[in-house]
Amino acid sequence: MEVLAGDIGGTNARFAIIDEDTIIFEKHYPSKDFNKFEDVFAVFVEDATGQVPHFACLAVAGVVEGNSVETTNIPWII
């Protein structure tokens, strides 16, 4: 089963598509180059040639309220 893993921080947004113990695709982006999470995620999807799993796990520094996170070190809401 493929899973999207992400680590979203003030310096970099890191994404990987993983199938069990194999990294299928991974890419890092400087967070400061994007105005919002949706922008960096759209570039990742394009770079991954549209291959996005149905399951995801994201590590994000920030305060969770409901189903959103306001990031600590960049002005993004995820």
User: What pTM was computed for the model?
Assistant: 0.90
Q: How far is CA 42 from CA 21, 46, 49, 64, 65, in A?
A: 25, 6, 11, 22, 24
Domains of the chain: 2-71 (3.30.420.40)
The predicted model gives 38-67 an average pLDDT of: 92
What is the Cα–Cα distance from 5 to 53, expressed in whole angstroms? Answer: 10
Question: Looking at residue 51, what is its pLDDT?
Answer: 79
The predicted model gives 53-78 an average pLDDT of: 93
Structure tokens at 41: 């995620």
pLDDT in tens, 3-36: 999 999 999 999 999 998 899 999 999 999 999 9
